[in-house]
Amino acid sequence: MKMSDLITLEVLRAGTGCNAERAAAWLQPLRDTCTLFGIDTPPRVAPFVAQLGHESGGLRYVREIWGPTPAQVRYEGRKDLGNTQPGDGKRYMGRGLIQMTGRSNYGQVRDELRKIMANVPDFAADPVALEQAPWAALSAGWFWDSRKLNALADQNEFITITRRINGGLNGLADRQRLLADAQKALGVVWTS
């Protein structure tokens, strides 16, 4: 089976919980992302789309919904996120399909994508660019790759993948449901 055969409208709808219109809109950007980052087997595709589905609310949100919540208030001044200037917390809120957060992460994804492709926007100067396809998809693929999540997916380590993406196990039941649905759509089932 070719990789492009793995990412289908059915797999996106099942694995992300999105509707047909959103699946069609994201199909090519996600196919391109999966090809670029070697997310090219059912054990890799299923957890990738399930995690994206949860993080983006079914491919609906490419920007964090801002309250600000108590957790969001804590983005401000966080040096580990590179948020050193007043207003950085909100300016570099979660964006992209995997909700990239923080000035340093925006700069890092820019720099790393520029090593492998042309015309990558400066996400640190223009954070909103991470909300646009294909950048929202590519930033998620880069994050996945930079955290070595393909290797964990190959070992069926969904809980560890969730921790690396979320920092904890928030939304685990939803993520696992989406994983099971993605696996079924791919015609393979294994436990997590």
For residue 34, report the phi and psi dihedrals to the nearest 5 degrees: -65, -40
Rounded to whole angstroms, the maximal C-alpha distance in the chain is 50
Q: Is residue 191 part of a domain?
A: no
Which residue(s) pair with 95 in the sheet? 63, 100
How many domains is the chain built from?
A: 2
Question: In terms of residue numbers, what domain contains 165?
Answer: 3-62+133-186
Whether this model's pTM surpasses 0.85: yes
Is residue 122 situated within a structural domain? yes
pLDDT tens string 30-88: 999 999 999 999 999 999 999 999 999 999 999 999 999 999 999 999 999 999 999 99
pLDDT for the residue 103 = 97
Examine the fold and report which residue of 88, 111, 129 is the final residue of a domain before the chain moves on.
129
Same domain, 137 and 180: yes
